[in-house]
């Protein structure tokens, strides 16, 4: 059982999750400080020196601290927006890397196609008579200018 737990705990995903939780906790402490020490006092300046942490009302002896709730909402929005920006940046980076990889694959595959794929060679339409050097039809077996007999294999010029 201890061996199974060790395998479970040392699996990559669990370790990544643990690191994420620790970093998230540290990030939350930074955001809490930002909100409670900088943003809320700045908002208090514009709202007439209102301290959100003191905002509450009492119902039958129970105090409902809605100021702390507002602070928690602001914390959440800042954390969510920050995570959104990080995820957006990572997604854009991954897309660029994927496009680079695809682009390189396309370039490599095109080079490979050029080297391996042979296009059919068009049959020439003219040739030069080896006797009078006139241009004649490629399929001709006798030159129409000098009447010399030609072999079919003989191709000395292509257009």
pLDDT digit string (tens) for the chain, length 159 residues: 888 877 776 776 777 788 888 988 888 888 888 887 888 778 778 777 666 777 888 888 888 888 888 888 888 888 888 888 888 988 888 888 887 777 666 666 666 665 555 667 777 888 888 888 888 888 888 888 888 888 765 445 544
H helical segments located in the chain:
2-10, 12-34, 40-46, 66-116
98-123: burial string, b at 16+ Cβ within 10 Å, e else: eeeeeeeeeeeeeeeeeeeeeeeeee
Domain-by-domain residue ranges, the chain?
2-116, 120-159
Q: Is the pTM of this model over 0.85?
A: no
CATH architecture of the domain with range 2-116: Orthogonal Bundle (1.10)
Would you say 146 and 132 are in contact if contact means Cβ atoms under 8 Å apart?
A: yes
């Amino acid at each position: 059982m201890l061996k199974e737990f060790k395998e479970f705990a040392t699996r990559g995903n669990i370790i990544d999750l643990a690191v994420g939780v620790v970093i998230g906790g540290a990030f939350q402490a930074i955001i809490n400080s930002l909100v409670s020490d900088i943003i809320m006092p700045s908002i208090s300046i514009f709202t007439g020196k209102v301290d959100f942490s003191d905002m509450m009302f009492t119902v039958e002896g129970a105090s409902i601290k809605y100021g702390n709730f507002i602070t928690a909402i602001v914390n959440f929005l800042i954390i969510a927006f920050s995570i959104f920006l990080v995820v957006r940046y990572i997604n854009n980076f991954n897309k660029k890397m994927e496009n680079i990889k695809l682009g390189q694959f396309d370039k490599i595959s095109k080079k490979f196609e050029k080297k391996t794929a042979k296009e059919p060679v068009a049959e020439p339409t003219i040739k030069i008579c080896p006797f009078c050097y006139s241009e004649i039809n490629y399929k001709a077996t006798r030159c129409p200018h000098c009447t010399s007999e030609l072999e079919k294999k003989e191709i000395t010029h292509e257009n």
